[in-house]
Amino acid sequence: MNPAQWLDRTALIHPTRPALLSGSRVVADYATFRARAAALGRGLRARGISKGDRVVIFMANCPQYLECLYGIWFAGAVAVPVNGKLHEKEALWIIRNAQASLVFSDAPHGTPLGAVAGTADPEIMDVGTSGFAALCAGDPLDTPVALESDDLVWLFYTSGTTGRPKGVMLTAGNLSAMAHSYFADIERVTEDDAILYAAPMSHGAGIYNFMFVMNAARHVIPESGGFEPEEIFHLG
């Protein structure tokens, strides 16, 4: 029961459906989305990342966010999304607390994070560099690494309003139950629908991705990476 199986299945059934959009521009259909995530998964496995290892995502909303998320799961590892609005010292505390093996970031977040990180901290890999491209350059994995329903897949850090953030441990079974309950409790999702990521994908907005991946819907990420009212209204 690996969340990446949902992407695997959708890419097989609806390979040409638009998947990832930067603003109004399609940057990947489901076949491409799946191939990129699966290639990243192989790259992570080649680096020694395996089941149970934690990989942090610390960056603004962007199409690569979902590719990293599913690439981590293709490898059987644990995703640790960190809010890109945090100060780099706050992010570093979470990275250390999570005992992360690797950090995916972008230049605006990775550069200041690298300035405060120590030699014992995990590598910070900018997704816009040749190093990340090389990590994704191999053949895609044929299938996601097999996971059990009680295997940890998402380490979800709280806001820490009354103290330090706490890592909430979400299993593959937790995510499956939540995603399928959405259809019963809220609404159906079809391939004609779209989800707009105006709030941080490290939090609730990102968790909504599953239902839309399952049904070959579109994932729209504003080019600004956040909520700019004029930009959002023009996306309609």
Domain ranges, ordered by start, for the chain: 4-235
pLDDT at 186: 84
Question: Where are the alpha helices (H) located in the chain, listed in sequence order?
Answer: 4-13, 30-46, 63-74, 88-97, 107-116, 130-135, 172-185, 204-207, 209-214, 229-235
What would the pLDDT profile of 118-137 be if each residue is shown by its tens digit? 999 999 999 999 999 999 99
Q: Specify the CATH class of 4-235 in words.
A: alpha beta
54: phi then psi, degrees, rounded to nearest 5: -100, 130
Checking 222-231 for CB contacts under 8 A at 24+ apart, the result is: 222/23, 222/61, 222/196, 222/197, 222/198, 223/22, 223/23, 225/60, 225/61, 225/62, 225/84, 226/60, 226/61, 226/198, 227/198, 227/199, 231/23
State whether residue 5 is helix, strand or coil: helix
What would the pLDDT profile of 51-89 be if each residue is shown by its tens digit? 999 999 999 999 999 999 999 999 999 999 999 999 999
Average of per-residue pLDDT across 22-42: 97
**Is residue 2 over pLDDT 80?**
yes
Average pLDDT of the chain is 94
The answer to whether the beta carbons of residues 49 and 77 sit under 8 Å apart is yes
State whether residue 61 is helix, strand or coil: coil
What pTM did the predictor assign? 0.95
Rama region for 49: left / alpha / beta (φ>0; ψ in -120 to 50; rest) = beta
**Is residue 42 over pLDDT 80?**
yes
